Amino acid sequence: MVARLVLQLVVLLLFAPLLAGVIAKTKALFAGRVGPPLLQPWYDLARLWGKGFVVSRTTTWVFFAGPVVGLAVPLLAALFIPFGGLPAPVSFEGDLILFVYLFGLARFFTAIAALDTGSSFEGMGAVREVTFSCLAEPTLFFALLVLARGASGLSLGALLGPQLAGQWQSETGASLGLILVCLFVVLLVENSRIPFDDPNTHLELTMIHEVMVLDHSGPAFGMVLYGAALKLMVLGALLVRIALPFQTGSLLLDLLIFLGGELALAVLIGVVESVMARLRLPRVPQVLVGTTLLSVFALVLVLR
Amino acid sequence: MANLLLLAVILINFFTLGSARLVACIRAVALQGALLALLPLATHGFSGHALLLGAGALLLKGIFIPWLLLRAIREVRIRREVEPFIGFVPTLILGALVTAGAFIFADFLPLAPEHVAGLNVPTALATMFSGFLLLITRRKAITQVLGYLILENGIFIFAVLLSAALPLMVEAGVLLDLLVGVFVMGIVLNQISREFATLNTERLTALKE
């Protein structure tokens, strides 16, 4: 139990920044560049950790709570989700609600830290981030409902259990395909990727997530980056498990399938970011309402 | 196989309800027609009748009518549906509601036992309702033609269930009607754009000599 817990956290902590590196590399290859080395996120983190803080005099302790909670929440949430074939270290009835709202907590603290600086740009970013995530939430819940319909319990471990492999073969396979697409969109929104937000832009008027962390510097900014990488991996675990519901029984093989799935997901995100332009802001709610309706439709399909 | 085709058809319904770009909408409806051409083969297997039905649908709905429509919008130079009577998000929500309603309603219908499990009947109803929605919520004549085409696609899905009993002549007649309808609408389109320099149909309610 404890060994399982430690293993899951170690895998998460060591592997997560690599995903950001893979995304950057894929985008570089698409653009015909060599791109930064795959381990660049690690170097960035090490560099940021060695720097000092620059803190505005208008901020309070809330300003530091943002990065800390942003780093702690993905670690906590990772305990409830199975990593591929590895069962979740902690599991109880209804932990899926906790899983979803842990990320809500992190978002609350990021937004309130952004508001704490008193900068109008950061306030704007906070407003957008909160709006979009509240529109993405119904999609996530309807997708979980679709999974719960075929599962034996209401914990994430049961939802993502070995019954998924059988469901792909049966009539519900189509619904699973639909919610996979919906969850991918939610993943892009939650991790502020193109086409919803551009992690590389530095134009304050258009950016969403990046503008909220503008005032963080040094180790605090490193924690923000690390937390974002962990969040991508934890939310990605949900998709990877639905897409690759294989259970070999051997610990190492299950882990390899899972990590391979995460890498494939990172490449897919890189491809999407390379071939798509950013959506105009008014279009984003439209797309999110569309995915909500798709997931509702998937639910109707499994209910009949 | 048939169920996957029908799912794709429903997704295309949603897309046309939510998209403002006319070219993309026309392509989507063409794709829907082409997918429906596979439906007789998927439900009834390979037979001369199904093959003829599929080929007819592919030629008319997948290729010829979309080509006509694309040519028409190139001539009148419009790209987008602006300001529909009901906005895009509300129409999408309405579309999802009628789709869910179609699924529930289909469960109450006294269907033949072999049709109860399949998606054919609910999809046919949902597609017809989506076509209706498109017809009544949009201003541009060209989107209304698309709504009419989607409506007819819904009827086609119903007809595929009955195609063993239906003579080929009736289906050929339906397709011919559709073609003539689109032709007439194409002529009307050109007339509207010549008279008013816009394709909005609400101007037509105030005709005078």
Q: Inform me whether the pLDDT recorded for A222 exceeds 80.
A: yes
Computed from CA positions of residues B200, B202, B206, B209, in that sequence, does the dihedral angle turn out positive or negative?
positive
Q: What confidence tier does B112 reach under pLDDT thresholds 50, 70, 90?
A: confident
Q: Taking CA atoms, what residue in A is nearest to B105?
A: A304
Closest CA to B132 of B101, B172, B166: B101
- Give the pLDDT confidence score for residue A230 in this predicted structure: 95
- B207 pLDDT tier (thresholds 50, 70, 90): low
Residues in B whose CB is inside 8 Å of some CB of A read 3-4, 7, 10-11, 14, 18, 88-89, 92-93, 95-96, 99-100, 103, 107
Any idea where the domains of chain B sit in the sequence?
A: 2-203
CB B149 within 8 A of CB B33: yes
Query: Among A192, A229, A190, which residue's Cα sits nearest to residue A75?
Result: A229
- Give the DSSP H/E element, type plus range, for residue B53: helix B48-57
Give the span between the Cα atoms of A73 and A187, in whole angstroms: 16
Share of chain A above pLDDT 90, in %: 54
Q: Answer for the pair A31, A186: CB distance below 8 angstroms, yes or no.
A: no
Q: What would the mean pLDDT of A95-122 be, rounded to a whole number?
A: 92
∠B53-B58-B62 over CA atoms, to 5°? 145
pLDDT of residue B86: 85
Q: For the residues B105-125, what does the mean pLDDT come to?
A: 83
Q: How far, in Å, CA of A237 to CA of B127, rounded?
A: 36
Using the beta-carbon criterion (under 8 Å), do A300 and B89 form an inter-chain contact? no
What sign does the dihedral B103-B108-B114-B120 (CA atoms) show? negative
Q: What is the 3-state secondary structure (H, E, C) of A41-104?
A: HHHHHHHHHHCCCCCCCCCCCHHHHHHHHHHHHHHHHCCCCCECCECCCCCCCCHHHHHHHHHH
| Cβ neighbours, 10 Å, residue A158 | 20
Nearest-CB residue to A293 (from B4, B7, B93): B93
Give the model's confidence band at B107: pLDDT under 50 very low, under 70 low, under 90 confident, else very high: confident
C-alpha–C-alpha distance, residues A131 and B36, integer Å: 39
Tokens of A296: 């509702």
Q: How far apart are CA A159 and CA A167, in angstroms?
A: 12
Instruction: Choose the weakest-confidence range: A190-204, A218-232, A283-297.
Output: A190-204
- The pLDDT > 70 percentage for chain B reads 91
Indicate the domain borders of chain A.
Answer: 2-303
Greatest mean pLDDT range, A259-273, A279-293, B3-17, B70-84: A259-273
What's the confidence (pLDDT) of residue A202?
67
Cβ contacts (< 8 Å) between A293 and chain B: which residues? 14, 92-93, 95-96
∠ CA A237-A10-A110, rounded to 5°: 65
Q: Which residue of A has its CA nearest to B88?
A: A286
Provide, as residue numbers in chain B, all residues whose Cβ is less than 8 Å from the Cβ of A300.
Answer: 99-100, 103
Question: Span A61-67, mean pLDDT?
Answer: 92
Instruction: Say how far apart CA A79 and CA A269 lie, in whole Å.
Output: 24
pLDDT digits (tens, 9 = 90+) for A11-39: 999 999 999 999 999 999 999 999 899 99
| DSSP 8-state assignment for residue B80 | B
> What pLDDT is attached to residue B163?
73
Q: Which residues of chain A are at the B interface, by a Cβ-Cβ cutoff of 8 Å? A: 171, 174, 178, 285-286, 289-290, 293-294, 296-297, 300-301, 304
Instruction: Give yes or no for a contact between B200 and B78, defined as CB atoms under 8 angstroms apart.
Output: no
Question: Tell me, what's the pLDDT at A204?
Answer: 64
**Token digits for A20?**
């950001």
Q: What is the pLDDT of residues B170-189, one digit of tens each?
A: 777 777 777 778 777 777 77
Q: What is the pLDDT of residue A268?
A: 96
How far A208 CA sits from the closest chain B CA (Å)?
A: 23
The answer on pLDDT for B209 being more than 60 is: no
Asked if omega into A195 is within 30° of 0 (cis), the reply is yes
**Would you call A171 helix, strand, or coil by DSSP?**
coil
B14 contacts in chain A (CB < 8 Å) = 290, 293-294, 297
Write down the number of H helices and E strands in chain B: 8, 0
Give the model confidence (pLDDT) of B23-72 as tens digits: 889 999 999 999 988 888 888 777 877 888 888 888 888 888 888 888 88
Residue A292: HSE in the Cβ half-sphere, 13 Å Cα cutoff: 18
φ, ψ at A83 (rounded to 5°) = -90, 95
Residue B78 identity (one-letter amino acid) = I
3-state helix, strand, coil in chain A (%, to 5): 70, 0, 30
Taking the C-alpha atoms of residue A130 and residue A134, their distance in angstroms, rounded to an integer, is 6
Give me the DSSP letters along A208-273.
SHHHHTTT--HHHHHHHHHHHHHHHHHHHHHHHHHH-----S-HHHHHHHHHHHHHHHHHHHHHHH
